[in-house]
Homo-oligomer: A and B are copies of this chain.
């Protein structure tokens, strides 16, 4: 290479699917499954004869921006949000399948960072869970579709429909922090046209502690999986991942259970509106019977079904009710 030729990173378009795949698998912990990656399908052990399965997709544009999320962040988040859905059933995550659709021009370093993020999320949030399969293809839009599988280890699944009148309503994890992090991004890391501008390490370092924490919750959520599994073992009657905002998700749990959830705004921190309306918390909303030993913070009570599925301080909630990609994403915004 001469000075006249700027150094240019190798792109995935220059490699075969097999070469890209090896670059990923080399960075992931080894499989302990009966059949791991490399065959037509994986074979996984679920000793009690039941498997828990969920899938969630991250799409460039509505779900993330490469100006803001590092490849590591994306791998971590794609794993974390799916692991949370498995734990919300009371199940222990055992495997991820990762389908990655990338533009030809994606640098190979993206794939390496992404794989490191997947590995880190499994190690930190769900030790023993590994990437046991996946798919690579080309796309104009960077798209990450993850499936997570889990084992109930003999326990009953904890469904949304199990809340009973008189149960206490608890939340495990934080509310509103991820939404605050998204606000930080849109308010401080967009240009005059609303397009994202790069979130540099220097810019992150310049944030105050609260904003830096909120940004971290938005970019690399850390759902408290171990506590969700303890809640399941402690007799939670209903549980769900809080992903689309507390107000919307509590409404869903109430509807599924045929009850009303009565929340007390005084329990929702400094900014109850953000706690209720913000998305991507990836904590857990849990109902416990009155005689159970609950985990988390109590935020309300399950009452007989009334005119509203959800009340806040005794009244219908009329504020923002969470994130719906088909309603809320405006491609023109950035």
Residues of A within 8 A of B (CB): 12-13, 15-17, 20, 34-35, 38-57, 59, 61-63, 84-86, 88-89, 91, 95, 97-99, 101, 104, 132-141, 143, 145, 147-150, 152, 157, 159-161, 240-241, 256, 324-327, 329, 331
Q: List 18 A-B contacts (CB under 8 A).
A: A16-B324, A17-B324, A35-B157, A35-B159, A41-B150, A43-B53, A43-B157, A54-B97, A55-B97, A55-B135, A57-B99, A57-B101, A59-B101, A59-B143, A104-B329, A104-B331, A138-B325, A147-B147
- Find chain B residues with CB under 8 A from A57 CB: 99, 101, 135, 137, 143, 145
A16-B324, A35-B157, A101-B59 known; A138+B42 contact, CB < 8 A: no
Which residues of B have CB within 8 Å of A327? 16
Given contacts A137-B62, A138-B62, A326-B20, contact A89 B54 (CB under 8 A): no
Q: What copy number does this chain have within its complex?
A: 2
What residues on B are CB-neighbors of A98 within 8 Å?
55
- A33 CB to closest chain B CB (Å) equals 9
Contact B99–A133 (Cβ < 8 Å): no
Partner pick for A49 among B48, B95, B143, B147, CB 8 A cutoff:
B48
B39 and A139 form a contact (CB under 8 A)? no
Other-chain residue from B63, B104, B133, B160 in contact with A53 (beta carbon distance below 8 A) = B133
CA distance A54 to B17 in the complex (A): 17
Closest B-chain residue to A140, C-beta based?
B141
Closest Cβ of chain B to A14, distance in Å, is 8
CB-CB under 8 A from A324, the residues of chain B are 16-17
The 8 Å CB contact of A43, one of B42, B135, B141, B152, is B152
Contacts of A49 in B (CB 8 A): 45-49
Other than the given A57-B143, A63-B137, 11 more pairs (CB < 8 A) read A20-B326, A34-B50, A35-B159, A39-B256, A40-B89, A42-B54, A43-B91, A57-B135, A101-B143, A138-B329, A147-B147
CA distance A49 to B33 in the complex (A): 12
Contact of A62 among B20, B40, B139, B160 (CB under 8 A): B139
Specify the chain B residue showing the minimal Cβ separation from A47.
Answer: B49
Give chain B residues whose Cβ lies under 8 Å from the Cβ of A39.
89, 157, 159-161, 240, 256
Closest chain B CB from A152 CB (angstroms): 7
Bound-complex Cα distance A94 to B34 (A): 19
The residue from B61, B62, B141, B145 contacting A99, defined by CB atoms under 8 A apart: B145
**Interface pair A137/B59, CB less than 8 Å apart:** yes
In Å, the complex CA distance between A159 and B54 comes to: 25
Determine whether the beta carbon of B149 is less than 8 Å from that of A53: yes
Give chain B residues whose Cβ lies under 8 Å from the Cβ of A160: 38-40
One of B13, B17, B46, B135 near A50 (C-beta < 8 A): B46
Q: Which of B62, B89, B139, B161 contacts A59 (CB 8 A)?
A: B139
